[in-house]
A and B are shown apart, each in its own frame.
Chain A
Amino acid sequence: MSRVFAPLAFVAVALFAIAPIIVSHAPYEQTMGLVQKVFYYHVPSAMLMFISAFVCGIASAVFLFKRSAGADRVAVAAGELVVLFGMIVLVTGPLWARKAWGVWWEWDARLTSSLLLWMIFLAYLLVRRYGGPGSEKLAGAMALFGMANVPFVYVSVNYWRTIHPKTSVVMTLGPGMRSAFWFCAVSFGVLYVLLLTLRRRLEDQQAQVERLYLALED
Chain B
Amino acid sequence: MKRRLVTVMILVLAVGGLAIAGQPPGTPAPQDGFVPVNSLPQAEQLPAAPLLIAAYAFVWAAVLVYVWLLWRRMARVERELAELSRRVQTR
Residues of chain A having any CB pair with chain B under 8 Å: 16, 20, 33-35, 37-38, 41-42, 45, 84, 87-88, 91-92, 95-96, 98-99, 191, 195, 198-199, 201-202, 205-206, 208-209, 212-213, 215-216
Contact = CB atoms under 8 A, between A and B. Distances in A.
Given A34-B48, A88-B62, A99-B46, A201 B74 contact: yes
Interface in B34-91: 46, 48-49, 51-52, 54-56, 58-60, 62-63, 66-67, 70, 73-74, 77-78, 80-81, 84-85, 87-88, 91
Given A38-B51, A41-B56, A95-B54, A191 B81 contact: no
Given A88-B59, A91-B55, A95-B55, A35 B48 contact: yes
The main secondary structure of chain A at its interface with chain B is: helix
Contacts of A213: 84
B51 A202 contact: no
Contacts of B51: 35, 38, 95-96, 98-99
Contacts of B60: 16
A30 B7 CA distance: 59
Contact of B77 (A20, A98, A206): A206
Contacts of A198: 67, 70, 74
Contacts of B63: 84, 191
Interface residues of B, number: 27
14 contacts: A16-B60, A20-B56, A38-B55, A38-B56, A42-B55, A45-B59, A87-B62, A96-B51, A96-B55, A99-B51, A209-B81, A212-B81, A216-B87, A216-B88
Point out which of B55, B56, B88 has the most chain A C-beta atoms below 10 A from its C-beta.
Answer: B55
A28 to B, nearest CB: 10
A90 B15 CA distance: 32
A38 B52 contact: yes
Contact of B70 (A41, A202, A212, A216): A202
A29 B59 CA distance: 22
Contacts of A42: 55
A132 B51 CA distance: 42
Given A16-B60, A195-B67, 7 more contacts: A38-B56, A41-B59, A92-B58, A95-B54, A95-B55, A198-B70, A216-B91
Given A35-B48, A92-B55, A84 B88 contact: no
Contacts of B55: 38, 41-42, 91-92, 95-96
Nearest to A40: B56
B8 to A, nearest CB: 31
Given A91-B58, A95-B54, A195-B67, A212 B77 contact: no
B35 to A, nearest CB: 20
A99 B84 contact: no
A35 B66 CA distance: 26
